[in-house]
Structure 1
Amino acid sequence: MATEPNDLGKYFIEHGNAGDVEGLVALYEPDAVLAFPPGSLATGHAEIRKVYEQFMAAAPVLEPGRQHPALVSGDLALTVVTLTTGELTVEIARRQPDGSWLWVLDQPMLVP
Structure 2
Amino acid sequence: MTEPATSPDDLGRFFVARANARDVEGLVALYEPDGVFATPAGPAAGADQLRAAFEQMLADGPTFTPGQPQPTLYAGELALTSTRLDDGSVTAEVARRQPDGTWRWVLDQPRFVAPPAS
TM-score (norm 1): 0.96
1:64-75 paired onto structure 2 within 5 Å: 64-75=66-77
Distance in 2, matches of 1:46 and 1:10, equals: 23
* Equivalent position of 1:58 in the other structure: 60
| Counterpart in the other structure of 1:26 | 29
Gaps of 5+ in 1: none
The residue identity in structure 1 corresponding to 2:89 is E
Name the amino acid aligned to 2:25: E
Q: What pairs up with 1:1-112 in 2 under 5 angstroms?
A: 1-36=4-39, 38-111=40-113
The percentage of aligned residue pairs carrying the same residue is 53
Rounded Cα–Cα distance in structure 2 between residues aligned with 1:44 and 1:108: 17
> What CA deviation, in whole Å up to 9, does each residue of 1:29-52 have, x standing for no partner?
00011111x251111010010000
SS in 1 for 2:42: coil
Size of the alignment, in residue pairs?
Answer: 111
1:64-96 deviation line (CA, Å, top 9, x unaligned): 000011101110000000010111110000000
Instruction: From the CA coordinates, give the structure whose radius of gyration is larger.
Output: 2
Root-mean-square deviation (CA, aligned residues, Å) is 0.9
Shift in Å, 1:110: 2.0
Unaligned runs of 5+ in 2: none
